[in-house]
């Protein structure tokens, strides 16, 4: 077995968790210990004649590449940050003409050289997260072990002075095949000062690789399992690998030791209507040679939250009336497989203060020395291409004595947001608090001054506000041409359209900093789905509103209950959204003051504009109550 040393000392000091990585010695030990001290081959040949066995070529080499992991001094971090850490890269190479299987383990050590790490001084691995993946493949983040369910399997120890070993990955190597891997290890971001058993502890581990000869007729497929849960439905996502020249013919799934379910050739299987609590899911696969994999199991806990920590502020969730709602996206068509995508968002819904000053939604926040409104904590794609959650806020009209933002053309010719005149104005003169071109009532530019206290327009963003805006977020620019019925115009349909790729010919499907570094400052508009999710439903309830197309929210009781209990409904005129009509190149969608969503006007028509921004991940709510009189206050935290 080839072994590499990773020396990690994890310490918690006062209210900080400090992770010190000892590079000295690591490089030397890696060089010294690349070998086969514990490697073994099982070769069994039975026949009536003479046995000739040559094991000279039965060799698996591990070769280190690149720079070893160096974390320096850090704190417990979120998975999205852990995945950005510099990985340790290594290669496993089968140098002989026989098939080999391999198993990569992480073994926890009780000694650091000659120094014994007593049991009471060892850090429990349940506080560690890891990611091991083949180069070029996404891989999965796993919890090493612990109370929240294990993402690894305990296996026999093979290294002297190891006190436990966890299997991270296994697979096969064909003759003369090599595989390249990346390994990352970090402290779970949920570790806090309250975790006393993580205080002043040490963790030392070694990666070991075990390789065993295996005749081809004994090779079975391998499978990995990932689980997610949304509104009581547990989704199993299997990733299977068949030996070269073979294919997977059947997937089977099981939950809580009930009967196995035939998943046919589906890599995804759903267990619906599950109760709250812990559940164990298993998967096994069969290849076209009728070889069956080992069963792989994983645990997941399902519970419905009653509160959420919204950027440092604990808020109760509601299921009716005004307040913060959980919004589930269990079947979002284009993002369910994207890395980091959360099935749950948290959005404010209900009545405006100006419509009912005794019972309204408390989502007011101080930003840019003004009062803005919090749309919610929503899924966004970052500049790195992974999904995270960000606070989304909007500057609405009709807030106290604040100046209204005004009405403008969306563009003067077409509905591609990336080239629109409105986007340019929001991300230049408004963002920078200067004067610049704008289009209010004609296709001829006039000057709009966002740097005058005495003018009719509000001031643009100040330096503090600019520092809070996340300009690396992807804005989705998908649209639709059909939206008027209950089969294509529901708020859930809109959420999918916005994240889709249906756009007018030659138009962009996303607006990102990567594609627009000059004019991407991160100021946009609301989506139609933002409007749809902002209603409390009145006496009908949200679910009833969600079963009706937004196009029809001006009819019968839907206007009374859905539209009039939606804080994002404009009080007059027509409110622009960022979403284009995909059936033509000249229209964009908007929200009418009557409560419906439509593409009534061409982009060269003047309509109300409410600027929208996403805030950086390090922004926290420091205090406040979210009321009109006592809005939330924001501060920049670490990161």
**pLDDT for position 173:** 85
Q: What are phi and psi of 3, to 5 degrees?
A: -135, 140
Only one residue has tokens 């002075």, namely: 161
Whether 191 is covered by a domain: the verdict is: yes
Q: Are residues 237 and 366 both part of a single domain?
A: no
Q: Which tens digits make up the pLDDT trace of 127-150?
A: 888 999 999 887 778 888 744 445
What would the DSSP string read from start to end of 125-191? GGGEEEEEEETTS---EEE-SSTT--SSEEE---STTEEEEEEEEEEEE-TT-EEEEEEEEEEBTT-
Residue 634 lies in a domain: no
Q: Please indicate, yes or no, whether residues 283 and 317 belong to a single structural domain of this protein.
A: no
Give me the pLDDT at residue 357, please.
Answer: 79
Q: Cβ distance 11 to 215 under 8 Å?
A: no
> Higher-confidence residue: 387 or 72?
387
> In terms of domains, do 382 and 524 share one?
yes
CB atoms closer than 10 angstroms to residue 486:
12
Looking at the structure, do residues 256 and 380 belong to the same domain, yes or no? no
Residues 230, 184, single domain; the answer is: no
Q: Is residue 625 part of a domain?
A: no
User: Pick from 497, 495, 499: which is nearest to 532 by CA?
Assistant: 495
**Token duo for residue 210:** 């075990």
306-357 pLDDT, tens digit per residue, is 999 888 889 999 999 999 999 998 877 544 445 556 778 999 999 998 877 7
**Number of folded domains that form the chain:** 3
Do 183 and 246 reside in the same domain of the chain? no
Based on the fold, state whether residues 346 and 468 are members of the same structural domain. Answer: yes
Range of the domain at 67: 2-216
Burial class (CB in 10 A: 0-12, 13-18, 19+), 47: exposed
Whether 626 maps to a domain, the answer reads no
User: Quick one: how far is CA 482 from the chain centroid?
Assistant: 29
pLDDT for 53 beyond 50: no
For the record, the structure tokens of 121 come out as 């001084």
Average pLDDT, the chain: 83
Q: For 124, which DSSP code?
A: P
pLDDT at 176: 86
The answer as to whether 639 is a domain residue is: no
Confidence category of residue 185, pLDDT binned at 50, 70, 90: confident
Regarding whether 165 and 233 lie in a shared domain, the answer is no
Residue 378 tokens, joined: 């929503």
> pLDDT tens digits, residue range 8-26?
323 222 222 222 222 222 2
Same domain, 235 and 321: no
Structural domain ending residue among the three candidates 216, 240, 268: 216
405 and 465 housed in the same domain: yes
Do 200 and 226 lie in a common domain?
A: no
Tell me which of 283, 302, 321 is where a domain ends: 302
CATH number of the domain at 263, please. Answer: 2.60.40.10
pLDDT at 196 over 80: no
- Among residues 216, 233, 255, the one where a domain terminates is 216
Q: Are residues 280 and 182 in the same domain?
A: no
What are the phi and psi torsion angles at 463 (to 5°)?
A: -65, -40
pLDDT reading at 295 higher than 90:
yes
Residue 627 falls inside a structural domain: no
- 632 lies in some domain: no
CB 104 within 8 A of CB 170: yes
Provide the pLDDT for residue 54: 34
CB of 588 within 8 A of CB of 526? no
Per-residue confidence (pLDDT) for residue 368, from 0 to 100: 97
Q: Does a structural domain hold residue 624?
A: no
């Amino acid at each position: 077995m080839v072994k590499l040393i990773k020396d990690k000392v994890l310490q918690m000091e006062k209210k900080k968790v400090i992770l010190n990585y000892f590079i000295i010695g690591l490089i030397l030990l890696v060089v010294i210990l690349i070998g086969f001290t514990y490697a073994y081959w099982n070769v069994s040949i039975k026949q009536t004649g003479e046995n000739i066995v040559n094991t000279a070529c039965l060799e698996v080499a591990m070769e280190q590449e690149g720079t070893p992991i160096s974390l320096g001094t850090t704190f417990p971090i979120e998975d999205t940050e852990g995945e950005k850490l510099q990985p340790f890269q290594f290669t496993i190479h089968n140098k002989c003409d026989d098939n080999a299987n391999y198993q990569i383990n992480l073994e926890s050590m009780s000694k650091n050289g000659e120094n014994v790490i007593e049991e009471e001084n060892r850090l429990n691995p349940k506080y560690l997260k890891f990611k091991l993946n083949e180069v070029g493949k996404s891989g999965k983040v796993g919890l090493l072990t612990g109370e929240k369910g294990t993402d690894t399997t305990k296996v026999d120890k093979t290294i002297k002075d190891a006190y436990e070993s966890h299997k991270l990955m296994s697979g096969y190597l064909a003759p003369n095949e090599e595989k390249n891997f990346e390994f990352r290890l970090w402290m779970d971001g949920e570790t806090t000062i309250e975790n006393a058993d993580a205080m002043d502890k040490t963790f030392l581990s070694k990666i070991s690789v075990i390789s065993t000869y295996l005749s081809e007729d004994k090779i079975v497929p391998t499978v990995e399992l990932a689980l997610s849960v949304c509104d009581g439905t547990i989704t199993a996502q299997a990733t299977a690998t068949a030996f070269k020249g073979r294919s997977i013919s059947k997937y089977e799934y099981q939950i809580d030791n009930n009967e196995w379910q035939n998943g046919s050739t589906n890599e995804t299987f759903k267990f619906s209507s599950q109760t709250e609590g812990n559940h164990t899911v298993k998967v096994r696969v069969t290849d076209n040679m009728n070889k069956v994999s080992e069963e792989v199991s994983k645990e997941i806990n399902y519970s419905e939250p009653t509160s959420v920590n919204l950027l440092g502020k604990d808020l109760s969730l509601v299921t009716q009336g005004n307040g913060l709602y959980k919004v589930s996206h269990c079947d979002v068509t284009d993002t369910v497989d994207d890395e980091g995508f959360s099935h749950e968002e948290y959005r404010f819904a209900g009545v405006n203060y100006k419509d009912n000053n005794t019972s309204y939604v408390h989502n007011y926040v101080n930003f840019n020395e003004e009062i803005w409104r919090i749309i919610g904590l929503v899924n966004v794609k970052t500049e790195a291409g992974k999904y995270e959650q960000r606070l989304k806020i909007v500057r609405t009209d009709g807030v106290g004595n604040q100046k209204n933002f005004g009405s403008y053309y969306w563009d003067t010719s077409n509905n591609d947001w990336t080239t629109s005149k409105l986007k340019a104005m929001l991300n230049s003169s408004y963002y920078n608090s200067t004067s610049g071109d704008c289009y209010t009532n004609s296709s001829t530019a006039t000057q709009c001054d966002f740097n005058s206290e005495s003018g009719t327009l509000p001031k643009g963003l100040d330096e503090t506000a600019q520092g809070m805006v996340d300009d690396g977020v992807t804005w989705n620019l998908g649209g639709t041409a059909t939206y008027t019925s209950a089969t294509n115009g529901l708020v859930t349909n809109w959420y999918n359209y916005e994240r889709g790729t249906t756009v007018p010919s030659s138009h962009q499907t996303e607006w990102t900093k990567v594609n627009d570094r000059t004019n991407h400052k991160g100021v946009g508009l609301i989506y139609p789905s933002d409007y749809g999710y902002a209603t409390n439903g009145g006496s009908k309830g949200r679910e009833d509103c969600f079963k009706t197309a937004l196009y029809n929210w001006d009819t019968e009781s839907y206007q009374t209950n859905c539209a009039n209990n939606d804080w994002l409904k404009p009080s007059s005129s027509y409110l622009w959204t960022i979403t284009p009509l995909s059936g033509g190149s000249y229209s964009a969608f908007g929200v009418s003051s009557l409560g419906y969503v439509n593409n009534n006007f061409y982009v060269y028509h003047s309509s109300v504009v409410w600027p929208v921004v996403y805030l950086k991940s390090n922004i926290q709510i420091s205090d406040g109550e979210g009321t009109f009189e006592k809005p939330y206050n924001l501060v920049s935290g670490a990161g």
